[in-house]
Amino acid sequence: MMLREQKSGECRHQRYISKNNLNIARISYIKSLFPDSIVVVPFREPVQHAYSLYKQHQNFIELHKSNAFARSYMKAIGHYDFGIDFKPINFNLWHDSASSNPNELIFWLEYWHQTYQFVLKHFAQSCIFVDYDYLCQNPQNSIEVLSAALQIQPSNIESQVSGIRSATKHNLNTTMLSESLVLSCSNIHEQLQTISVNNSQR
């Protein structure tokens, strides 16, 4: 999909979009290959996001159990984000000492914590952060500011505004989660909101 074109002499260069969860661990590599690339990192409220990841993992486990082709296909394309063959990104070797497992919500909250802590530490100045919750609540404004950050015309993507829907908010029992972990995730979430291109808290 082309978002914008750049003129270089008589040539016009198209921009390519790559949406891949594991790209979050490849930011340095991507930037080394494409110095003018723009990396967009969306984020959600931590516990709700962690629960969504947990449910996705459970769904893929069931899919892999019932559909051998789906499992082999995901392995063939290197898709280890969820399911029986799940391989987490081991930011700062956190997974080496993880006490929980992917069948527990707390694992995914810890994964969220490690992921965004890593990205904030190393790429806070070189990525565009988008508050997904705020985008769903204020899609028109968010599309406008995101378009400006991406240096494209809003008209290129504003047709998608009507299709934006808020993620389901689940009523979760968080008493089994580490209080210190929840607090630390909340602090990281506040930092992300502060630097996001579209959040009103900026």
Q: How many CB atoms lie within 10 A of CB 131?
A: 25
DSSP 3-state of 4: strand
Domain edges within the chain: 43-195
In 3D space, the residue among 89, 83, 54 whose CA is nearest the CA of residue 172 turns out to be 54
Task: Please name the residue ranges forming H helices in 67-178.
Answer: 68-76, 105-123, 132-137, 139-150
- Tell me what pLDDT residue 127 has: 94
pLDDT at 51: 96
Tens of pLDDT along the chain (202 residues) come to 334 455 555 555 667 788 888 899 999 999 998 888 899 999 999 999 999 999 999 999 999 999 999 999 999 998 899 999 999 999 989 999 888 899 999 999 999 999 999 999 999 999 999 999 999 998 888 888 988 888 887 776 777 788 888 888 898 888 889 999 999 999 999 999 999 999 855 5
Helix (H), strand (E) at residue 145: helix 139-150
pLDDT of residue 43: 96
Are the C-beta atoms of 107 and 174 separated by less than 8 Å?
no
